[in-house]
Amino acid sequence: MGLHINDDQVKVRGFCDHSNWGGVGNAVPDRINFFRAQMLRSVGGNAWRMAHNPPIPARIDFADRLGVLIMDENRDYGGHRGQGGYTAETVAQETIDMGDMVQRDRAHPSVFIWSFCNEVGCDNETAAAAFRNISYFYDGTRGVTQNHLGAGRLPISEKSLDVQGFSHKSGSTFDTFHSKFKTEPMMATECCSCLSQRGEDYDACPVPRTCVGSSCHVDCAHDGKAEESNGTFYNNEISTCTAMQVNESDSREFVAGTFVWSGFDYLGEARGWPQTVKPRGVITDIAGFPKETYYWFRAVRLSCSARLRPFRNRVSLVANSGGSRTLTRRTPAARRCPSTPRSSSWTPGAWASWPTAAR
């Protein structure tokens, strides 16, 4: 069971991030992306999700050199049902975009899986088969996923995925899916949402709160009412919020790993002045200074961090107690931490032989 590289089992310890950064917006200098990749590794991260567009190429270049696995992601399926609720692009146009991304990035050894879409951008589930076909046409050595669990008891898109992705789902959702699809690899492609800000501002937040679960979304001064929010978020139990949400996926042996949302604070999705950023980052704030959760992840993940290096490796696909298939291609090598929970799964480079016809 699990993600295997050179026969070693590796738990995915990932983070999600937009391409923009602080005061530079979308025109991000290479040095900043190098810094982000370094900071991700410094807390034991071994994977980075490119949310939610084909990324700045330098991000993948640095991942190749630093030994970080990449989940490369397209925006949405198209067909007027896109991320944000609407897109003018047709499914055919979006399929071309998907193919362009695969062609551009397929030579990077760090890319271990292709993602079709993000959340509501995946609602047009009938497009999944076309996206799978175009991905396999240009690259048959990697698997495909989406950051979304489709609708209904037997989602249409599930048949076209090698790895089922989940966005902000509870442990019971993982359990229910696994009970129905016992041999299908699963991964928390987006998890966790604990709002916090570096430091404590007693003027804006005179009584820092203790929070659990969804209550950690609440503005510390205005009980979460967006129309009254002063944009200040701080609680004195941020580690509890983080631990509880990460554990929903990491504690289950049949879930291959977790991509935490997000690695760094980012521009947009603000609740109003004076807040101009979303404080969901767990590594650094918008200026690059470590937040409290930086130390939590460093303590929890760094001691069990996979050691990745860009050498030629043997990879294999293992689903539960079934057999495996192997091939050789360039992909980062890794060492599994013995204390890491086992995870159900797959291995980069072997999905072309995944027996989808049996499902």
Long-range contacts of 52-56 (CB under 8 A, 24+ apart): 52/18, 52/83, 52/117, 52/118, 52/121, 52/147, 53/19, 54/97, 54/100, 54/101, 54/104, 54/105, 55/19, 56/19, 56/28
How far apart are the C-alpha atoms of 21 and 37, rounded to whole Å?
Answer: 13
How far apart are the C-alpha atoms of 311 and 329, rounded to whole Å?
Answer: 9
Higher pLDDT, 227 or 33: 33
* pLDDT score recorded for residue 325: 35
Residues 170-198: tens digit of each pLDDT: 999 999 999 999 999 999 999 998 888 87
CATH number for the domain spanning 22: value is 3.20.20.80
Taking the model in full, what pTM does it have? 0.82
Domain count, the chain: 1
Structural domain boundaries enclosing 101? 3-358
* pLDDT score recorded for residue 6: 73
Average pLDDT, the chain: 79
Higher pLDDT, 127 or 271: 127
